[in-house]
């Protein structure tokens, strides 16, 4: 069985994902068979990956509308997808067997082994579904451990939540059922890192304290030598080694959840550090939807030279925007109501420039949403007086919601029009959505599968386009075409420069390798090297 390393934290957003990703790439570079694992994740940034064959049963007999096995795919958090790529292995749902997708009002969709189970509040999940979730996590880990030499597991939040120790699947339970070596990560930028590290060690269950092989301090700015007295005092007090001090350096890993975004009433800009002067750049406005999901779709645009991705509140003006992208949403209906309440639908209708809607954003741009009581949150559904709602009305399409969710990894052919004019060839990505979309009027259908183009894949009219393909802008042909159209619409010349390599795994590995002592890895069984 594999050796498991659990990267746990003193808090959320302390750098666990960077350390875990770096370890995955370092071990893979040593020729070790390594796989990522996170027993339970909470994120609306998900990827479609193959389901573990052992979890599929008879469901795998179902066939999707493209002739493929739609039930063969499931959802995992984006971090585990990224970590699998860093480890140079094909991700499956075993990498993240339990995923909670928040949908507002204290309610989350529970996804087990890649498949949605239902929508529950926290109390209902822990009372009625946690034991099943734990069993799925143990089984997934066992399958990974049988196929690989090392498992790099990522914890969630803090491992020291003492009110939560009896049901902490990602931290406490994983450490126990995997008999994991624990690497504890603390963030110095928020202050009090030594206090948080000591406090975390003190509050960990006694049976896990001895499994801690060391700590990593992240996000340090300045001269690391100045930390030496603190490190010495910490090691003397706890008997735990400080493995390293990692400088503040973002390797560009995709954000795991909306905590990385501005608040719904704030504006924030991504991509403005590329050295291009403001007068030579363009701004792509992205409405900060309350239930935004898969906003990692926007990261390739922010990385393009001269492109500024501005997340804006729903009551903001678009006067300074050159284009708009509507991102995905966990609840199209709820976010449509929020858009209309803020008057952002009027702002969009008055906007003169390229507009693209991705997945839920595509649905929002249509003329009508049908079966909205099926898709809406419990709170919104209780207030609805009809099962049909008018959309923003910029595309003559309508979406009908049913309980079934489509989850599939896919490649489409594109013959670009409107905001994607000039994009041609194959584009790859994934679909994760409820609802099917059909044309209600004259639209162009630039996306095709197997030679069949339809609004079920995407549609455009004039300067407005929508599609269901997440990861659209990860494809160079689509990204180049859209950016060209935005610069043309703004009347500016596109600056020279190319989009940096979107694969940050080597950068994460370098951060860990150059700044951490990894002697504990040498204690892995010899046959694993």
Cα gap 125→64, rounded to integer Å: 30
pLDDT of 431 above 60? yes
- Evaluate whether 39 touches 98 at the Cβ level (below 8 Å): yes
- Evaluate whether 328 touches 466 at the Cβ level (below 8 Å): no
Q: What's the rounded mean pLDDT across residues 298-318?
A: 94
Give the tens place of pLDDT for each residue, 123-168.
Answer: 999 999 999 999 999 999 999 999 999 999 999 999 999 998 999 9
Q: Which of 141, 148, 470, 515 is catalytic?
A: 470
Alpha-carbon Rg for the chain, nearest whole angstrom, is 23
pLDDT of 368 above 50? yes
- Is residue 348 situated within a structural domain? yes
- Evaluate whether 293 touches 320 at the Cβ level (below 8 Å): no
Q: Are residues 214 and 160 in the same domain?
A: yes
Query: What's residue 524's pLDDT?
Result: 62
Q: What's the rounded mean pLDDT across residues 345-364?
A: 97
Q: Look-up: residue for tokens 């206090």?
A: 195
Query: Which helix H or strand E contains 100, and what residues bound it?
Result: strand 98-102
- Evaluate whether 42 touches 189 at the Cβ level (below 8 Å): no
Q: Are residues 271 and 419 in the same domain?
A: yes
pLDDT of 369 above 50? yes
- Is residue 235 situated within a structural domain? yes
Task: List Cβ neighbours of 382 (8 Å cut-off, separation of 6 or more).
Answer: none
- Is residue 327 situated within a structural domain? yes
CATH code, domain with 317: 3.40.50.880
Cα gap 155→4, rounded to integer Å: 12
Query: What's residue 16's pLDDT?
Result: 93
Helix (H, G, I), strand (E, B), or coil: what is residue 516? strand
Query: What's residue 437's pLDDT?
Result: 97
Active-site residue flag, 24: no
Query: What's residue 500's pLDDT?
Result: 53
pLDDT band with cut points at 50, 70 and 90 for residue 398: very high
pLDDT of 318 above 90? yes
Q: What's the rounded mean pLDDT across residues 473-486?
A: 95
- Is residue 432 situated within a structural domain? yes
Q: Are residues 320 and 197 in the same domain?
A: no
- Evaluate whether 17 touches 185 at the Cβ level (below 8 Å): no
- Is residue 498 situated within a structural domain? no
Start-to-end CA span in the chain (Å): 14
- Is residue 497 situated within a structural domain? no
- Both tokens of 5, joined, read 């390393």
- Evaluate whether 389 touches 333 at the Cβ level (below 8 Å): yes
Q: Are residues 196 and 277 in the same domain?
A: no
- Look up the domain containing 237 and give its range: 3-253+505-528
Q: What's the rounded mean pLDDT across residues 170-193?
A: 95
pLDDT of 120 above 60? yes
User: What does the DSSP assignment read for 53-78?
Assistant: GGGTGGGGG---TTSS-GGGEEEEEH
Task: List Cβ neighbours of 166 (8 Å cut-off, separation of 6 or more).
Answer: none
- Both tokens of 511, joined, read 């951060």
Query: What's residue 385's pLDDT?
Result: 77
- Is residue 500 situated within a structural domain? no
Cα gap 422→17, rounded to integer Å: 37
Q: Are residues 161 and 294 in the same domain?
A: no
User: Between residues 511 and 302, which one has the greater pLDDT?
Assistant: 302
pLDDT band with cut points at 50, 70 and 90 for residue 29: confident
pLDDT band with cut points at 50, 70 and 90 for residue 515: confident
Cα gap 461→463, rounded to integer Å: 6
- Evaluate whether 399 touches 435 at the Cβ level (below 8 Å): yes
Query: What's residue 62's pLDDT?
Result: 33
Active-site residue flag, 165: no
Cα gap 169→452, rounded to integer Å: 44
- Is residue 495 situated within a structural domain? no
- Evaluate whether 288 touches 342 at the Cβ level (below 8 Å): no
Task: List Cβ neighbours of 243 (8 Å cut-off, separation of 6 or more).
Answer: 183, 213, 214, 215, 216, 516, 517, 518, 520
Q: What's the rounded mean pLDDT across residues 323-334?
A: 95
Cα gap 205→389, rounded to integer Å: 51
Give the tens place of pLDDT for each residue, 197-216.
Answer: 999 999 999 999 999 999 99
Task: List Cβ neighbours of 419 (8 Å cut-off, separation of 6 or more).
Answer: 323, 354, 355, 356, 460, 463, 464, 465, 481, 482, 485, 486
pLDDT of 502 above 60? no
Q: Are residues 461 and 362 in the same domain?
A: yes
Cα gap 13→9, rounded to integer Å: 8
Number of domains in the chain: 2
- Both tokens of 287, joined, read 């409405």
Q: How far is CA 156 from CA 47, 68, 217, 393, in A?
A: 18, 34, 17, 40
Query: What's residue 223's pLDDT?
Result: 83
User: What does the DSSP assignment read for 112-160?
Assistant: ETTEEEEEEEHHHIIIIIHHHHHHHHHHHHHHHHHH-SEEEEE--S-TT
Q: Are residues 476 and 413 in the same domain?
A: yes
Cα gap 414→296, rounded to integer Å: 21
The share of the chain scoring above pLDDT 70, in percent, equals 93
Give the tens place of pLDDT for each residue, 218-252.
Answer: 998 888 888 999 999 999 999 999 999 988 877 76
Q: Are residues 316 and 172 in the same domain?
A: no
Q: Are residues 280 and 355 in the same domain?
A: yes
Query: What's residue 274's pLDDT?
Result: 86
pLDDT band with cut points at 50, 70 and 90 for residue 63: very low
Query: What's residue 70's pLDDT?
Result: 58
pLDDT of 64 above 50? no
Give the tens place of pLDDT for each residue, 249-294.
Answer: 777 676 666 567 788 889 999 988 888 999 999 999 999 999 998 8
Q: Are residues 156 and 197 in the same domain?
A: yes
Q: Are residues 152 and 56 in the same domain?
A: yes
Q: Which of 24, 95, 359, 516 is catalytic?
A: 359
Q: Are residues 210 and 339 in the same domain?
A: no
- Both tokens of 388, joined, read 């049909």
Helix (H, G, I), strand (E, B), or coil: what is residue 488? helix
CATH code, domain with 146: 3.40.50.300
Q: What's the rounded mean pLDDT across residues 452-469?
A: 96
Does residue 114 come out as left (phi exceeding 0), alpha (psi in the -120 to 50 range) or beta? Answer: left
- CA quadruple 315, 321, 322, 327: dihedral, nearest 10: -50
């Amino acid at each position: 069985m594999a050796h498991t390393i659990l990267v746990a934290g003193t808090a959320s957003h302390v750098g666990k994902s960077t350390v875990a990703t770096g370890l995955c790439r370092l071990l893979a570079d040593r020729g070790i068979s390594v796989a990522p694992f996170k027993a339970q994740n909470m994120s609306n940034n998900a990827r479609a990956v193959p389901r573990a064959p052992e979890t599929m049963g008879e469901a795998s007999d179902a066939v999707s509308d493209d002739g493929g096995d739609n039930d063969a795919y499931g959802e995992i958090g984006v971090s585990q997808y990224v970590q699998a790529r860093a480890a140079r292995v094909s991700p499956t749902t075993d990498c993240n067997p339990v995923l909670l997708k928040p949908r507002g009002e204290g309610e989350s969709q529970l996804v087990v082994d890649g498949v949605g189970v239902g929508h529950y509040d926290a109390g209902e999940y822990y009372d009625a579904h946690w034991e099943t979730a734990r069993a799925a996590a143990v089984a997934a880990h066992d399958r990974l451990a049988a196929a690989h030499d090392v498992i790099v597991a990522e914890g969630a939040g803090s491992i020291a939540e003492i009110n939560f120790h009896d049901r902490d699947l990602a931290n406490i339970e994983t450490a126990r059922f995997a008999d994991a070596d624990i690497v504890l990560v603390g963030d110095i930028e928020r202050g009090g890192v030594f206090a948080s590290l000591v406090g975390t060690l003190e509050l960990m269950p006694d049976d896990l304290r001895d499994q801690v092989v060391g700590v990593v301090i992240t996000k340090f700015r300045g001269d690391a030598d100045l930390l030496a007295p603190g490190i010495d005092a910490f090691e003397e007090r706890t008997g735990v080694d400080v493995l390293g001090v990692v400088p503040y350096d973002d390797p560009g890993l995709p954000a795991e959840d909306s905590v990385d975004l501005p608040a719904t009433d704030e504006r924030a800009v991504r991509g403005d550090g590329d050295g291009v002067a403001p007068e030579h750049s363009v701004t792509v406005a992205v409405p900060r939807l309350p239930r935004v999901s898969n906003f990692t779709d926007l990261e390739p645009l922010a990385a393009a030279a001269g492109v500024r991705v501005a997340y804006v509140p729903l009551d903001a003006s678009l006067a300074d925007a050159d284009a708009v992208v509507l991102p995905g949403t966990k609840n199209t209906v709820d976010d449509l109501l929020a858009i209309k309440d803020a008057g952002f639908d009027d702002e969009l209708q008055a906007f003169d420039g390229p507009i693209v809607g991705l997945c839920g954003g595509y649905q929002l741009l249509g003329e009508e949403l049908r079966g909205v009581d099926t898709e809406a949150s419990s709170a919104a559904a209780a207030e609805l007086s009809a099962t049909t709602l008018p959309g923003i009305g910029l595309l003559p399409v309508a979406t009908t919601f049913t309980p079934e969710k489509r989850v599939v990894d896919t490649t489409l052919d594109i013959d670009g029009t409107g905001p994607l004019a000039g994009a041609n060839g194959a584009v790859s990505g994934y679909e994760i959505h409820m609802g099917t979309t059909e044309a209600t009027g004259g639209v162009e259908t630039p996306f095709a599968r197997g030679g069949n183009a339809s609004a079920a894949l995407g549609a455009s009219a004039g300067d407005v386009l929508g599609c269901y393909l997440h990861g659209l802008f990860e494809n160079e042909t689509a990204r180049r075409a859209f950016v060209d159209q935005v610069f043309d619409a703004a009347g500016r010349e596109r600056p020279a420069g190319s989009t940096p390599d979107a694969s940050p795994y080597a950068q994460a590995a370098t951060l860990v390798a150059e700044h951490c002592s990894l002697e504990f890895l040498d204690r892995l069984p010899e046959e694993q090297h």
